A and B are shown apart, each in its own frame.
Chain A
Amino acid sequence: MGQVVLVTGAARSLAGRFVRRIQRDPQVERVVAVDAVPPEHHLGGADFVQADIRQPAIARVLAESGADTVVHLDVTGTALTGGSRATVKETNVIGTMQLLGACQKSPSVKRLVVKSSTNVYGSASRDPAVFTETTPAKSLPSGGFAKDTVEVEGYVRGFARRRPDVAVCVLRFANILGPTADTPLASYFSLPVLPTVFGYDPRLQFVHEDDVIEALRIAAHEPRRSTFNSGTFNIAGDGVLLLSQCARRLGRPMVPLLLPAVTWAGSLVRTLGMTDFSPEQIRLLTHGRVVATDEMRRTLGFTPRYTTAETFADFVRSRGTGLLPPEALVRAVDRIAALAPRGGGSGHLPTQSAT
């Protein structure tokens, strides 16, 4: 008998891809996709059940489907269609509580996978440069999606205590980027000019959508030989990119603003409802965040296909470059190079552009 997998948040493109992908796995018999709104993308041969996980109805869906694996992907930072921040928070927190309550009552559930985020570590100047899964956050996120994930993880830990027979896996994903990702950071990188915090060059880490799907698959199935897939794992691509590097590779000019101005502009933009540029996003873009992925390799047995730089390159390919494409800059430099021997002067100072 194969696995029956229940996936929440299936109306999102990433979850939709996961649903389509996991059906092709031989050990999976049936996939039940759940969301409050019908998805715009097709779900392969999966059964779609329109149910709101904030309602107790989810318990009935879980009992009727007889699922043994629950993949909880409905923990997200942005609303799908014009929902407010309050709705998002409710789905994240109340939805998780309802889902975990349903799982606790269901005897058939054997495995729970929860999509979390490295947001749980927060971002502060007093934090160590590299977070491991056990590093306590110096400053707990005060609100927004980061606080949601902290609360969700708290409920999941409680569930794991109450149901020790269920294998619980929490995957803390770094910033997800890719051709179709709709994360706040992806919309930030789509701005024509990138407002940055003056005097700070944060270190960023990305994980590619394809790697997210693979990591979720590994966590949703029986562990492979000599690996173990319950527990909490950081999932991120290798390496680090600085925000300034990202902007240059993307060819979008940076506009450094003083930190108070950024905070003020962020709240203004949020009030106008243009983007969801939350305070913890600003903190991320001030201090940056890097996580250690040793556990992911050693225990989970997962090696990402894309490094941070490759993930970003793929993102740049899909979005196109901005006002200052790197190729144009290289051409400009080459033109200066062609002039230089005749002009005899090296009038430009790399120092200025370097820092």
Chain B
Amino acid sequence: MADAKVIPFDDDRSRSASAGRQARRRGAGSRRAGAESSAAGDVHPLPGATGRDAPAAPPRRDTETEQDAARQDTPQERRPAEDDGGLERRIASGLAFLRRRLTGEYEVDDFGYDAELTDQVLLSLLRPLYEKYFRVEVKGIDNIPKEGGALIVANHSGTLPLDALMLQVAVHDRHPAQRHLRLLAADLVFVLPLINELARKLGHTLACTEDAERLLSQGELVGVMPEGFKGIGKPFSERYKLQRFGRGGFVSTALRQRVPIVPCSIAGAEEIYPMIGNAKTLARLLGLPYFPLTPTFPWLGPLGAIPLPTKWTIQFGEPIPTDGYPAEAADDPMLMFDLTDQVREEIQHTLYKLLVQRRSVFF
């Protein structure tokens, strides 16, 4: 890779520089948000408390408003609250939340997506992993439309689908409109107890044409990883080599619904569990598509299931518009293959660029 470093990626460098600027701005904003939240919540904000609060309220969004500060207030259960007024407010909103949950007075959509639970509990549980563990850096978030349907197509890797969950947190936390990503998941997810329940509540649904088209026609942001098990369960030696993109069904779905395709490259997820072997017999016995053997798993037991703390970068590419094609284009196999290849190439190239840019796997 050493000689690859001389390839100039001017547009990207400027982009990353602007991302850096954004990050700085975000950092400043968060400090402001911390002050705001304590100011809004409390009559006598203690300067010390604000100072201590600031690292607990890490940088999350580009736009900081009063409303935003209030939103940061809500998932308070996990945050140490030191000032009385804020605590009271947090307890009150926490109790209101508890009251709604206990009496069942909340709403889910047709797919079982529980917006309240996702916002206030599930994403907050994933956020430490996103911010502290994998330190995800997001580029090109503006390529996701502010509103209306869009199909995000990403690479898939890492033995466990942590990349999909991090992508969902990234879209929600970094996008100015805080959009929710509705992921399309493999059927295995909906067979497993507990997993299927959580997946539905997080807004995921089965990767099938019907569900994808329904979500897109409702103007939702849909995420798909067309590599599927081929991508997530590939051996470590094949990292960052995109696998075949299924049958390209996602392209015809996007064409039929006339929504743009946003290519997305996730770097860093490929190294979280270096899969050096695959116990196929055991996998078949357990009914799984693969059974990973890593340097630590299953030798160290549950300890071996801890992912490596790699540094991640998620880059969203330029959206590929689909509304220019005629209505019958969705049934044209050649166009399908062309567009599928275009998306695939774009993701693969961006992956290479990200790999060249990164200093190390862990930093």
Interface residues of A (CB under 8 A from B): 125-130, 132, 135, 197-201, 203, 239-242, 244-249, 259, 287-288, 290, 292, 326, 329-330, 333-334, 336-337, 340-341, 344, 346, 348-351, 353-355
Question: Can you name the residue of chain B whose Cβ is closest to the Cβ of A201?
Answer: B197
> Quick one: which of B95, B197, B200, B208 contacts A128, CB cutoff 8 A?
B208
Q: How far is the CA of A287 from the CA of B104 in the complex (A)?
A: 19
Q: How far is the CA of A244 from the CA of B101 in the complex (A)?
A: 10
Q: How far is the CA of A127 from the CA of B200 in the complex (A)?
A: 13
Which of A129, A201, A239 has the most B CB atoms < 10 Å from its CB? A129
Q: How far is the CA of A350 from the CA of B77 in the complex (A)?
A: 8
Report if A346-B77 is in contact (Cβ < 8 Å); known contacts: A199-B193, A354-B117: yes
Is A249 touching B211 in the complex (CB atoms < 8 A)?
no
6 further interface pairs, Cβ-Cβ under 8 Å (given A130-B111, A333-B99): A128-B208, A130-B110, A203-B110, A336-B95, A337-B92, A341-B88
Q: How far is the CA of A290 from the CA of B109 in the complex (A)?
A: 10
Is B109 touching A240 in the complex (CB atoms < 8 A)?
yes
Report if A129-B205 is in contact (Cβ < 8 Å); known contacts: A201-B112, A247-B104, A249-B105: yes
Q: List 7 A-B contacts (CB under 8 A).
A: A125-B206, A129-B210, A198-B194, A337-B92, A346-B87, A346-B91, A355-B198
Q: How far is the CA of A198 from the CA of B191 in the complex (A)?
A: 12
Please report which residues of chain B, range 79-111, place their CB below 8 angstroms from some CB of chain A when the two chains form the complex: 87-88, 90-92, 94-95, 97-99, 101-111
> Quick one: which of B99, B102, B200 contacts A201, CB cutoff 8 A?
B200
Measured CB to CB, the closest approach of chain B to A131, in angstroms, equals 8
Q: Does B196 contact A (CB under 8 A)?
A: yes
Measured CB to CB, the closest approach of chain A to B29, in angstroms, equals 28
- Residues in A with CB closer than 8 Å to B205 are 128-129
- Residues in A with CB closer than 8 Å to B87 are 344, 346
> Quick one: which of B99, B106, B110, B197 contacts A330, CB cutoff 8 A?
B99
Is B103 touching A128 in the complex (CB atoms < 8 A)?
no
Is B98 touching A350 in the complex (CB atoms < 8 A)?
yes
Q: How far is the CA of A330 from the CA of B101 in the complex (A)?
A: 10
> Quick one: which of A125, A130, A336 contacts B191, CB cutoff 8 A?
A125
Q: How far is the CA of A37 from the CA of B109 in the complex (A)?
A: 43
Q: How far is the CA of A54 from the CA of B109 in the complex (A)?
A: 42
Q: How far is the CA of A353 from the CA of B104 in the complex (A)?
A: 11
> Quick one: which of B99, B104, B107, B111 contacts A239, CB cutoff 8 A?
B107
Q: Does B214 contact A (CB under 8 A)?
A: yes
- Residues in B with CB closer than 8 Å to A242 are 108, 112, 114
Question: Can you name the residue of chain B whose Cβ is closest to the Cβ of A288?
Answer: B112
- Residues in B with CB closer than 8 Å to A239 are 107, 110
Q: Does B180 contact A (CB under 8 A)?
A: no
Interface residues of B (CB under 8 A from A): 77, 87-88, 90-92, 94-95, 97-99, 101-112, 114, 117, 121, 125, 187, 190-198, 200-201, 205-206, 208, 210-211, 214
> Quick one: which of B106, B192, B208 contacts A245, CB cutoff 8 A?
B106
Q: How far is the CA of A37 from the CA of B95 in the complex (A)?
A: 54
Report if A129-B88 is in contact (Cβ < 8 Å); known contacts: A203-B110, A333-B98, A346-B77: no
- Residues in B with CB closer than 8 Å to A247 are 104
Is A240 touching B211 in the complex (CB atoms < 8 A)?
no
Q: How far is the CA of A346 from the CA of B95 in the complex (A)?
A: 9
Is B196 touching A248 in the complex (CB atoms < 8 A)?
no
Question: Can you name the residue of chain B whose Cβ is closest to the Cβ of A203?
Answer: B112
Is B121 touching A259 in the complex (CB atoms < 8 A)?
no
Is B111 touching A129 in the complex (CB atoms < 8 A)?
yes
Report if A350-B101 is in contact (Cβ < 8 Å); known contacts: A125-B196, A199-B196: yes
Report if A329-B111 is in contact (Cβ < 8 Å); known contacts: A132-B210, A350-B97: no
Report if A128-B210 is in contact (Cβ < 8 Å); known contacts: A199-B197, A349-B77, A355-B117: yes
Question: Can you name the residue of chain B whose Cβ is closest to the Cβ of A250?
Answer: B104
- Residues in B with CB closer than 8 Å to A197 are 193
Is B187 touching A346 in the complex (CB atoms < 8 A)?
no
Report if A346-B94 is in contact (Cβ < 8 Å); known contacts: A130-B110, A240-B108, A351-B77: yes
Is A248 touching B95 in the complex (CB atoms < 8 A)?
no
- Residues in B with CB closer than 8 Å to A129 are 110-112, 205-206, 210-211, 214
